Copies of this chain bind each other. A is one copy, B any other.
Amino acid sequence: MATADVAAVIEAAGSYLPALMKRLEERLAQLAIGHGAVLARHASETIAAGGKRLRPLLVFVAAGAPTEANEAGVLRAAVAVELVHSATLVHDDVLDRAPLRRGRPTVMATAGREMATATGDLLFSRAFAELAANGRPEEIKVLSQASSALARGELLQRGDAWSSTVTIERYLHRCELKTATLFQAACELGALEGGESPAGLAAFGRRIGLAFQLLDDVLDVSGPVARTGKDRGTDLLDGTVTLPLILARERSPDIAALDMRTITTPQAAEQLCDQIEATGVLGEARMRALKVVAEAKAGLPVLPHRQRRALELIADGVVERYA
């Protein structure tokens, strides 16, 4: 989400939100430095320096305006969700940036990998420690199921890498596991802390998580680099089969016949991005995401007006990333 979108969400939700977002940053920074110099060095960039904090935002808005009784709990839930997300990023970094894929490792890459694996484990553990302080086993269940799903999604993605036979269903299932379940968990945890039924917001979270991933995969093909901050076609170079490629394979015999393993340079990846784009499938993938966002909004349960409006704006913000 863009900063403007976040500001709109804050305006809709209420003045409680900036205070919570600030405390979130403080707590994350504390965690980054609170577990030894080594973690500080390796984790602080990931957990303290960045990110859209979209998942914590969902926790906060799903919980509604905090009371004195639940404010600490809401904050811990948000921290826990962001830590699981950070852990995943750290481990993904290990895997995706591994210069192994291109042939040969540097010493720096080797040191980074080892540290990153342990750092990710530490962030996972801290997430559960943080949430355990809420004293609610149902919350641990929600988070552990989401983090299991993330790992299963990652396994599925690695298992399907370079495959020429990934179906749309399988791709969507992977998106659910890799992305949607943590968005869902963020909504459920917020709802639990806010005293709402978690079921009501679960579907909303799952759907906007799915839309988020669908659009992310479109952005990987479409760019522009200036907006995404990464080269076009990194998924293609990783062997990750996403919806644009699956759809393009259906439309273009040339693309269908292509062995992904032959795409080994950024130039080749960008060229394939152009080919995919030329088939017109990006619009189709985008429409699918917009449809899911619309369903997410339509399926929202009865909620106080401000809370509903804030959730709708978050949903729109997921789409705005693309526009």
8 Å CB contact of A140 from B120, B137, B150, B155: B137
Q: Please, which residue of chain B has its CB at the minimum distance from the CB of A105?
A: B100
Question: Shortest distance in angstroms between A312's beta carbon and chain B's nearest beta carbon?
Answer: 31
Q: Report the bound CA distance from A122 to B114 in whole Å.
A: 18
Q: Is A253 an interface residue (CB 8 A)?
A: no
Do A36 and B110 touch (CB < 8 A)? no
Q: A38-B155, A105-B105, A159-B38 are in contact. Are A148 and B132 (CB under 8 A)?
A: no
> Could you say which residues of chain B place their CB within 8 Å of the CB of A151?
118-119, 121-122, 125
> Could you say which residues of chain B place their CB within 8 Å of the CB of A131?
140
Question: How many chain copies?
Answer: 2
Q: Among residues 1 to 44 in chain A, which have CB atoms less than 8 Å away from a CB atom of chain B? A: 35-36, 38-39, 42
Question: Shortest distance in angstroms between A107's beta carbon and chain B's nearest beta carbon?
Answer: 9
Q: Is A306 an interface residue (CB 8 A)?
A: no
8 Å CB contact of A126 from B113, B122, B129, B144: B144
Total count of chain A residues near the partner, CB < 8 A:
54
Q: Is A255 an interface residue (CB 8 A)?
A: no
Q: Please, which residue of chain B has its CB at the minimum distance from the CB of A41?
A: B159
Please choose the segment from A90-98, A242-250, A265-273 that sits at the chain B interface, where 4 or more of its residues have CB less than 8 A away: A90-98
Q: Report the bound CA distance from A276 to B117 in whole Å.
A: 31
Q: Among residues 85 to 109 in chain A, which have CB atoms less than 8 Å away from a CB atom of chain B? A: 87-88, 91, 94-95, 98, 100-101, 104-105
Do A114 and B95 touch (CB < 8 A)? yes
Question: Shortest distance in angstroms between A240's beta carbon and chain B's nearest beta carbon?
Answer: 12
> Could you say which residues of chain B place their CB within 8 Å of the CB of A159?
38, 115
- The 16 listed contacts between A and B (C-beta, < 8 Å) are A38-B152, A38-B156, A100-B100, A104-B105, A117-B120, A118-B151, A118-B158, A121-B150, A122-B148, A122-B155, A125-B147, A128-B128, A128-B140, A129-B140, A135-B137, A137-B140
